Chains A and B, each alone.
With several copies, the nearest count.
Chain A
Amino acid sequence: MNVTAAVALECLDRMVVIRAVEEGICAEYSHRNIRGPVHLSIGQEAMAVGVLNVCREDDVAVSTHRDHAHYLAKGGDVGAMIDELYGLETGCSHGYGGSMHLFSREANFMGASAVLPGSTPVAVGLGLGCKLDGRGAVAVGFSGDGAADEGSFFEALNLAAVLRLPVLFVCENNGLSTNTPLAARQAQTDISAKARAFGLVAETAEGVDVFAVRDAAAGLLHQVRSTSQPAVLALTADRLCAHVGPVSKVAALNPQTLLDEAADPGSRDPIAFCVGVILRELPELRGDCIDILREVPLKVAAEFQRADAAFEDRNKTAGLVAPPPPKVHTV
């Protein structure tokens, strides 16, 4: 672990915020005041946090249908996101975007596209904007491995390379597109190798370890920023949740469960993994870790309560009919 204690806790805190928000969604979803498809990032938090922790504030980012972690890791406001999930005008996209189209001007989170691989070409344009602005900012474009099935993904990589634009393409490879495995979709599954064949600098890193992600991203961001050439960071992690819908496959946040799980250095839960690394390398932070694990969920839960009340309030005038019990949408 190549970071200070403060940064280590910062990374943990951010991941716990993300997890807590998504656990809140799982808890609240069945009440049917959150209405819309949700693509959780449980299991994938370290990729978002590792990359965005080493970004500058004025770096701009765009994301996909699975955008919660990116929005929050970039510094998007928690309450405004939750309001957006509830369809409130106070939401970060004023109720127009919902879960798949979070936005934060302040955090330089420029939005998210739910059509593959739509935000990747947009990231190229953001990179051009950064370059023309001349202030050294970089554009970060998140995508999944499924987006890399699409031709337009590589077209975008090539264009960024030809125009020498400062773009970091982060491809989060969870091995799945809905439920179809990568090997059934790509005859050659090494996404970095493809990027290199297109003339880009590219690396693959383990996406469960937030500090490894951070190191890999820092190296590439430095290159991108100093050379104004794009790079690809392919990260691997497991999606520990359903493709869509409020279904988590890990135990709920709880200090004791996590401390236990953290003892396993092979854990695929990025939060347990991170706690494990901290406890092994900076054992004096044990108390801080427990505080984070205990307090963050409480704060987040309060935001859900507030938003839920606001929804009910708003619905007094709108009088919307409660939708039928949520079906598991496959996409």
Chain B
Amino acid sequence: MISPATLSLDYAAAVVHTLEQEMAFNPKVFVYGEGINDAGAYLNSTDGLAASFGEARCFDVPNCEDALVGLGIGSALMGYRPVFVSLRVDFLMLAMNQIINHAARWPAMTGYQVTVPLTIRALIGRGWGQAAQHSGALYSMFANVPGLEVVLPSSPAEGAGLLLTALRSDKTTIVIDDRGVFGAAEDMPSVIEPIPFGKARVARAGTDVTFFAISSMTRFALQVAEAVSASGISAEVLDLRTARPLDKETIRASAARTGRVAVFDIGWPGFGLSAEIARVISEASVLQRPLLSVHRRDEHTPSSAFLEDEHYPKLDEVVHRVKTHFS
């Protein structure tokens, strides 16, 4: 059977497809996670891997995040390319000693004689009343740390290409799978090509204002851009793709060109993405207008559907803010 040149896949299928492609290509790649081979586990993003490659290359493990990251570091030091899947980024808090003190630092500690090519996928996302402990977007604490790469794909095709780069990267890479980008399908080449880290994508061209977005907020930013175009505001939307490395050049060039910027973040404001973008811009140039940051409320996520709704930015309100702020 000849496979078609283009496939239409949703995020989960795109992740599975990419893992299958790379696992077939590179026998050093393997995947593991808590309950990983359960039906529907990880929102279907590991479906069928065990069937295709055997349970030796896609295996279930006990609940022990710290040891599980250690498992990845040690095998990575031996030349393997482990992929640890964590159902929620919040659960990685149990593994911070291994991630920050070990995965990120082991290369430095040896004078850069070793690499730790470990990939950690972790889900984040809003909705369904999961409250404070199950909806965190704790990615900026990783993005602060040298030695790590932090990736936040905005769509299925982006997820595929960026994951492939993670799998091939020699650094420990945290790939944040945002529930907000699951669901809808998108066309992509059947042979996935890697998308380089640190290169933002122009999701929409524009001249008056730049929207820097990441993860599921890219779609949100595009919606805002559409909405304000009617008022004569031409917004450029940049999908940053990776929070570390960050595409400083593109950020600065676009900011210099439009002189007006807004940041669309999935996390908290303080020491977060809008802060980092402000730094990147402010270190090189000046703005004509104050920076606008769009982000979840600076508090832990409530469970109630009513409160949760208020926790996240609302399209109408943001559209209104953008209009008054920049026009």
Chain A residues with a Cβ under 8 A of chain B = 35-37, 60, 62, 84, 87-89, 91, 93-101, 103, 105, 110-116, 118, 120-130, 132-133, 139, 146-147, 149-152, 155-156, 158-159, 162-163, 177-180, 184-186, 314-315, 318, 320, 323, 328-331
Contact = CB atoms under 8 A, between A and B. Distances in A.
B285 to A, nearest CB: 35
Give the most central of A122, A152, A323: most B CB within 10 Å: A122
Contacts of A100: 130-131, 133-134, 303
Nearest to B308: A87
A321 to B, nearest CB: 9
A101 B78 contact: no
A113 B90 CA distance: 12
19 contacts: A87-B303, A93-B111, A94-B113, A96-B112, A100-B130, A103-B113, A113-B101, A115-B91, A115-B101, A122-B102, A124-B74, A125-B74, A128-B75, A152-B67, A155-B66, A156-B66, A162-B62, A179-B38, A331-B41
B306 A318 contact: yes
Interface in B260-307: 302-307
Contacts, number: 250
Nearest to B36: A180
Contact of B77 (A120, A126, A330): A126
Contacts of B62: 149, 155, 158-159, 162, 177, 180, 184-186
Interface in B83-103: 87, 90-91, 93-94, 97-98, 101-102
- Chain B interface residue count: which class? 35 or more
Given A152-B94, A330-B35, A320 B73 contact: no
Contact of B102 (A113, A124, A314): A113
A116 B63 contact: yes
B64 interface: yes
A101 B109 contact: yes
Given A87-B305, A114-B131, A121-B71, A178 B114 contact: no
B67 A111 contact: no
B77 A129 contact: yes
A62 B74 CA distance: 10
B101 to A, nearest CB: 5
B71 A159 contact: yes
A96 B80 contact: no
B34 A178 contact: yes
Contacts of B184: none
B22 interface: no
B133 A330 contact: no
A97 B111 contact: yes
A61 to B, nearest CB: 12
A128 B305 contact: no
B79 interface: yes
A331 B61 CA distance: 15
B108 interface: yes
B174 to A, nearest CB: 17
Contacts of B73: 121-122, 125
A87 B307 contact: yes
Interface of B: 34-35, 38-41, 59-80, 82, 87, 90-91, 93-94, 97-98, 101-102, 106, 108-114, 127-134, 302-309
Given A152-B66, A159-B68, A184-B62, 19 more contacts: A35-B129, A93-B113, A94-B113, A95-B304, A100-B303, A101-B110, A103-B111, A111-B109, A115-B91, A115-B93, A115-B97, A118-B97, A121-B67, A122-B74, A128-B78, A158-B64, A158-B67, A185-B61, A330-B39
A289 B113 CA distance: 37
A318 B101 CA distance: 29
B114 A111 contact: yes
A163 B61 contact: yes
Question: Which 10 A-B pairs have CB atoms at the shortest separation, nearest pair first?
Answer: A125-B74, A121-B70, A129-B78, A36-B129, A98-B303, A94-B111, A87-B304, A95-B304, A185-B62, A96-B111
A36 B303 contact: yes
B253 to A, nearest CB: 35
Contacts of B109: 93, 96-97, 101, 103, 111-113
Nearest to B66: A152
Contacts of A60: 78
A150 B69 CA distance: 13
A129 B102 contact: no
Given A98-B129, A121-B74, A178 B97 contact: no
Nearest to B307: A95
Given A96-B302, A114-B134, A330-B41, A126 B113 contact: no
Contacts of B34: 177-178, 180
B205 to A, nearest CB: 32
A121 B76 CA distance: 13
Contacts of A155: 62, 64, 66-67
Nearest to A159: B67
A159 B84 CA distance: 14
Contact of A184 (B60, B82, B111): B60
A246 to B, nearest CB: 13
A96 B132 contact: yes
Give the most central of A91, A96, A151, A328: most B CB within 10 Å: A96
A125 B134 CA distance: 23
B35 A179 contact: yes
Given A94-B111, A159-B68, A88 B78 contact: no
A97 B110 contact: yes
B87 to A, nearest CB: 5
Contacts of B75: 125-126, 128-129, 132
B38 A178 contact: yes
Contacts of A112: 109
A95 B111 contact: yes
Contacts of A180: 34-35, 38, 60, 62
Contacts of A132: 75, 78, 80
